[in-house]
Chain A
């Protein structure tokens, strides 16, 4: 096991910049998720850790070792690929033990080892099968087994669950979480699925256009997203964001937008500075909204747009203006009969504030 450090890494493909001046530190035993939309540079970052791409500038360290120019095979890493990269002409035992074969271990020894790892991953009874003869979930675990068969300092995962259907993905996610608890490996995991990142990571690095915009434990990212981008990426459904006019009046912050009623909020120096430009973004998570009974100080009103009952919860979408919608996540298994104009309530403790540049403005209690 070892730490991984990125020092001012920049990667360009021609005129396209995939990663810009990236600093990232992954501690020994940590499970870090690189989370972001496609094209944000997360896979490129992972591939630079693996040595499959060379940074244009900057240094990559594994432990204390500078591996920037080191070939993948000498980095003591293991990697799980999005398409699993299982060899169709080898059975599972040969596939899993291939890293041992290239090290010259005997057929018996490496097959025994493949079997042992296979048993841990519940595919031990399939060792004679070919990859085409097993299910997608089993293929995924086979590629995982191949990564685990040799002791490595860092384990890299490139969207390993994205080729599975929804139910299998949940199973495999739980399995990975269990494995991480068991083995305590250092792992870097690329995904565009925020739920996967929340479920697995000890820390999440949210990436946007080649930069890391927020690097923190999952709940920190959920409770205090660093920017509007992070707020709108993490959470399902993501945070509701409303652009407001802002001014300081009588020592309190006054936010105004169509349909929005916000009680006066206490002012800090940071809030005062952000409000000076007259614009701020108000945010509240869907699960922190409820159907208003009229007594609330904080309310949002809008035309009912959609009312989706999912069983244990309902998603209610309101059109606050013609092109601004917000969603509430209501934990009820009863059918909801809502009027055409619906009002949602919220508590001021759940309000997130962002400055005109999209950066989080800490509230009074932070």
Chain B
């Protein structure tokens, strides 16, 4: 078969080369550099800063053995915390809430739909630092808005950031990220021909039956895409740092914050790089798993 091309291979390569150089310099080289560093004891200060030793798997072994268990400040604690964080804020919070909102939006008047979309997208497009500060101000013990409201209602005030730090970052990340899932599911639902739902209406289906039998099965691909993306984003999200700085006492030190602390506050580059590599492998596993699910053609067995 004759291939048609606008440019000769040489001209194409010439145009590609600047982008290729940049990607190489800032993505591909650092990627392999991190893997290399994770096998050394390189640090910012001290004798190993200039002459790091090659320590093989020492960094990795330390990650999984130090601290004897899972108290805050260890890699194990951060890993479990991150899994919980993903489960509550991404899967249950963003995906489930986004799905629910998107479904409800299909059945409300256009004006309500437009208003809700605007509000939710507003939460999504604001810069992270602004949002972090807004939530910090909202939850502050002395002058926070939430405590102000509770006072006005005669309810007891709470020191949210100190007493419930994990749930604060879960709620925060849910609030922040639901818009993406909602928009994605919204457009997925909108791509289903209206006659499918009208036929179900005439057949006598309830809203729940329409969701279960028609809406959800037809957007399955979008659900899988959404879960891959938000799981990976939430796994790597650093924004909770703006609210809690990983504290108090390391209680909200998710993996991204843990990596940051080890590498750039403890200046242990080798160990930080090792965490980075582990996180990357976990993300890779997630991605492969979801892609496998998405490709698998499951014959639908209906519950009757």
Contact = CB atoms under 8 A, between A and B. Distances in A.
Interface stretch (B27-35, B70-78, B206-214): B206-214
A83 B195 CA distance: 8
Nearest to B214: A87
B304 A89 contact: no
Contacts of A112: none
Contacts, number: 68
Given A90-B300, A101-B213, A101-B304, A85 B195 contact: yes
A348 to B, nearest CB: 50
Interface in B197-255: 198-206, 209, 213-214, 217-218
B163 interface: no
Contacts of A85: 193, 195-196, 198-199
A310 B267 CA distance: 90
A99 B204 contact: yes
Contacts of A78: 202
Given A83-B195, A85-B193, A52 B201 contact: yes
A230 interface: no
Interface residues of B, number: 20
Contacts of B205: 73, 98, 102
Nearest to B203: A99
Q: Which secondary structure characterizes the binding site on chain A?
A: loop
A322 interface: no
Contact of A103 (B195, B200, B204): B204
B201 A94 contact: no
B90 to A, nearest CB: 26
Contacts of B202: 50-52, 72-73, 75, 77-79
A49 to B, nearest CB: 11
A73 B198 contact: no
B201 A71 contact: yes
Interface in A98-112: 98-99, 101-103, 106-107
A52 B206 CA distance: 15
Contacts of B218: 87-89
Nearest to A82: B195
Interface in B130-188: none
A88 B199 CA distance: 13
Nearest to B218: A89
A203 interface: no
A102 B198 contact: no
Nearest to B204: A73
Nearest to A100: B203
A192 interface: no
Nearest to B299: A91
12 contacts: A50-B202, A72-B198, A72-B201, A73-B202, A77-B202, A79-B198, A83-B195, A87-B196, A94-B302, A101-B302, A102-B213, A146-B203
Interface of A: 50-52, 71-75, 77-79, 81-83, 85, 87-90, 94, 98-99, 101-103, 106-107, 146, 150
- The 6 A-B residue pairs whose C-beta atoms are closest, nearest first, are A99-B203, A73-B204, A85-B195, A85-B199, A107-B304, A102-B205
Given A51-B201, A73-B205, 5 more contacts: A72-B202, A94-B302, A98-B203, A102-B206, A102-B213
